[in-house]
Structure 1
Amino acid sequence: MASRGGSLGLIARLLLLQSELCQVWVAAAVFSTSDFASSHSETTRVNPLLSTQAQGTQMTSQGQTSPFKPFTLGCGRPLMKIIGGVEAQEGKWPWQVSVRVRHMHICGGTLISAQWVLTAAHCIFSWIEYNVKMGDRSIHRENTSLVIPIQRVIIYPEFSSAIIVKNDIALLKLQHPVNFTTNIYPICIPPEAFIVATGTKCWVTGWGKTDPGAPSVPTDTLREVDQHIIHYEQCNTMLKKATSSSHDLVKRGMICGYKEQGKDACQGDSGGPLSCELNDKWVQVGVVSWGIGCGRQGYPGVYTDVAFYSKWVVAVVNQAPRSSPLVFLILPLCLL
C-alpha cells in the first residue's frame, strides 16, 4: 500500500533511492508554524520538553470546548457504512487524512478530534510547513476535499531511530477546528490499559505503493488492507526467524500486523491508521511505522501501539504547549 516519508529536494531523492533503509531530516521536537520565517531562514529555538503553561482544550464542531478523552461518544462511528472492496469507498474511513507539503502527499494521518491529527514522528521533516487534506478518498482531487494548514507539530519527546525506530508518534494541531461530515469524522483512541487480542482482524489504510518494486508514487485512491494483530513478543519471534537475527527488533510500544497473502502497508502509508472495529466503534490501535520490505512472507508490518501512548496523546491535546525548540537530527530509518 504505502510508506513513511518523502519530502522535497534532496530528501525526496533519498527516499526514492532507498529500498529498506534511508536517511531523512527529522525534527525531534515540538514546534509551531509561527516559528518559521517565510523564507525559512531562521527558527526560534526553545525548550524541547512539553510546556504546561498554556491551557489547551479541544474545539468541538459546535464551537464549544470540552476535554479530549479516549472512547468518547462521538468517535469511531462513520455516518456512512460501506463494506468490502480493495479501493476504499467514499466515507468508509472518514478519519483518514493525507499529510502534505504543498500538494505533495508525504504520509498518512488520522483525525482524532476536531483540531488534532495523529501521525508518525518520522514523517516530520525540518524546515517544512505542512497541511492536511481530508474528506476525499482521492489524493489529487481538491474541489470536494478540505485542506487545512498545520499550526503546531508535537513529536513524542523520546522519539529516536538508533538502530530501529522507537516512539514513532506525533500530533499535528490544525490551524482551525473542522466540522464533522459523512467524509470527515474522528476515530476513537484507546485508553492506556487497552489491549487488542492477538488475531483480531483490523485494517490499514493509505495512499502508499501497491507494488514494492514500483516508484515511490502514491496511488490516487485510498486503499485498504486487512491485517491480523500480532503482539510484539510473537512479532519478534517471526522477525528473528526471517532475518536470522538474535536481536529483538520490536519493543514495547509497538504492535504488529500480518497477512499470509503478502498484504501489507508500504511506502507512502507511514503515519496512517491501523484500525479495528470493536463493539461497533472503530478504534485506532496502531500508527503505520516501519517494516522490512513490503508484504514479504514471514515479515510482519510494525506499528506504533497507540494505547501505549494514549496518556501522552490526551495530555498534549488537553494542554497544548506554546512552543518548543527544533532539534534537527539525521536518522537512519528502516521504513515501509
Structure 2
Amino acid sequence: LGAGGALGMSLLWAGKTTRDGRKLDPPLPMSPDCGKPQQLNRIVGGQDSVDAQWPWVVSIQKNGTHHCAGSLLTNRWVVTAAHCFKGYVWFSRASRWIVQLGELTLRQSFWSLRAHRNRYRVKDIIVNPQARGKFHDIALLRLASSVTYSKYIQPICVLSSTFMFLHRSDCWVTGWGVIHENMVPLPPPYRLREVQVTILNNSRCRELFELPFLRSSISFDMLCAGAENGSRDTCHGDSGGPLVCELEGLWYQIGIVSWGVGCGQPNRPGVYTNVSLHFDWIRMLVSRNDMPRPDPSPVLLFLTLPWAPRLLGPA
C-alpha cells in the first residue's frame, strides 16, 4: 500500500471517537481500497449473491472440499473462526489448506477457470491464544503469496469499535452453508448465499438464550444477529464467514459466524465473534509480519566491508 493512501485514511479518521470518548482507530487495512465492492445490488431465508458484490469473502478448503468461510483483510491475511481448525492445527500442515477468492461457486467447471488462478496456499494458521470452545472464536491465516486485487477480490475494513452498528437492520452475512438445519445442502453449483440480518444488543441476546443449558453462553466478545422470528440465519458450513455493515459508503466486518442453536429457530439468533474486540490482536499480527525488512545497519556494513575481499577471494 502506498504511504499516501495510508496517510489519507489516517487523516480521515483522526477526529472520530466512540461514545465514551475513546479514540477510534482507522480501519484495517489503512487503505482507501478496503470495503468497496464494485457491485452494489441488493443462508437461511437468503438469496444468491452476484459477482463482485462481496469481494472479500473466501472459501477455506482442505482436500478440495469447502470447510469454512473467511474474509480477506489484506493481500496476505484472512480472518475466520478458530473452531474451523479444531483438531486440525496440530495434525496437518498449514500448506494443505487452500483459500479460494473471487468466486461465487464452489464447483469448478470449464467456465470457471478463474478460480484456478485465485487459489492461494496457507502459510500459517494462527488461532487466538485465548480461544476455548465458543469463546474468542477467531483465527488468522497468513497466505503463502500475495493476493492480486481485482474487481472480484478486495479487502474488507475492520474497526476498533462497533457501537455505531447496534440495532442496525441492514447488515449482511454470506456463506456456502446448508440451507436448512436438516442439513439440506446448497444445490449445484453451490453458489454463495447472502441474507440481511438485524444486530441485537447483548442484553437482549442474553435474554433470548436464558435457558439452563445455555446460561452465560453470550460473552463480552460475542454479538448476535438475525431475526427473532428465525426467518434469517446462518447454518452449518457458514462458519468463519463475515457479518458486514455499510457506513458512509464503506463496508466493515463486525462479526465472524461462530455458533447458534439450530438454524433459523425463533428467538435463537446467530452468534458471532465481535471482531472489534480483537482489533489490537489482528493489528499486531498483521503489522508485525508485513513489515518490510530493515536495511542493514551502517555500522554492520562498515565492519564487514573491509573483509569483503578476503571473503570473496581473488578476482
Mapped partners of 1:94, 1:183: distance in 2: 5
The match for 1:97 is 58
- The counterpart of 1:133, out of the listed 100, 111, 133, is 100
Change (3 A) 1:65 1:275: closer
Using the size of structure 2 for normalisation, the TM-score is 0.75
Mapped partners of 1:218, 1:117: distance in 2: 27
Letter in structure 2 aligned against 1:257? A
Q: Secondary structure at the match of 2:203?
A: helix
The match for 1:36 is none
Q: Secondary structure at the match of 1:295?
A: coil
Contact kept in structure 2, 1:105 and 1:218, CA below 8 Å: no
The match for 2:146 is 177
Change (3 A) 1:76 1:286: same
Mapped partners of 2:52, 2:223: distance in 1: 27
Contact kept in structure 2, 1:216 and 1:268, CA below 8 Å: no
Structure-to-structure mapping, 1:273-292, within 5 angstroms: 273-292=242-261
The match for 2:27 is 70
Runs of at least 4 residues off by over 3 Å: 64-69, 215-219, 243-246
Q: CA RMSD in A?
A: 2.4
Contact kept in structure 2, 1:120 and 1:288, CA below 8 Å: yes
Mapped partners of 1:246, 1:297: distance in 2: 15
- 1:167 matched to 2:136? The reply is yes
* 1:93 CA drift (Å): 0.3
Return the structure number with greater helix share.
2
* 1:244 CA drift (Å): 5.2
- The counterpart of 1:233, out of the listed 203, 213, 220, is 203
Mapped partners of 1:186, 1:74: distance in 2: 7
Mapped partners of 1:140, 1:166: distance in 2: 33
Q: Secondary structure at the match of 2:163?
A: coil
* 1:231 CA drift (Å): 2.2
Contact kept in structure 2, 1:208 and 1:218, CA below 8 Å: no
* 1:82 CA drift (Å): 2.1
The match for 2:119 is 147
Change (3 A) 1:185 1:277: same
Letter in structure 1 aligned against 2:261? I
- 1:115 matched to 2:62? The reply is no
- 1:82 matched to 2:37? The reply is no
* 1:132 CA drift (Å): 0.4
Q: Secondary structure at the match of 2:285?
A: helix
- 1:254 matched to 2:213? The reply is no
Q: Secondary structure at the match of 2:271?
A: strand
Contact kept in structure 1, 2:165 and 2:245, CA below 8 Å: no
Mapped partners of 2:164, 2:114: distance in 1: 35
Structure-to-structure mapping, 1:256-335, within 5 angstroms: 256-259=224-227, 260-320=229-289
Letter in structure 2 aligned against 1:112? L
Q: Secondary structure at the match of 1:172?
A: strand
* 1:269 CA drift (Å): 0.4
Mapped partners of 1:168, 1:118: distance in 2: 11
Identity of aligned residues (%): 32
Mapped partners of 2:225, 2:287: distance in 1: 30
Return the structure number with greater strand share.
1
Mapped partners of 1:193, 1:210: distance in 2: 31
Query: Structure 1 stretch 87-96 or stretch 217-226: which is displaced more?
Result: 217-226
Q: Secondary structure at the match of 1:233?
A: helix
Contact kept in structure 1, 2:99 and 2:120, CA below 8 Å: yes
- The counterpart of 2:163, out of the listed 185, 195, 200, is 195
Contact kept in structure 1, 2:167 and 2:201, CA below 8 Å: no
- The counterpart of 1:221, out of the listed 175, 191, 196, is 191
Unaligned 5+ segments in structure 2 are 10-25, 291-315
* 1:295 CA drift (Å): 0.6
Contact kept in structure 1, 2:179 and 2:186, CA below 8 Å: no
Mapped partners of 1:82, 1:65: distance in 2: 27
Using the size of structure 1 for normalisation, the TM-score is 0.70
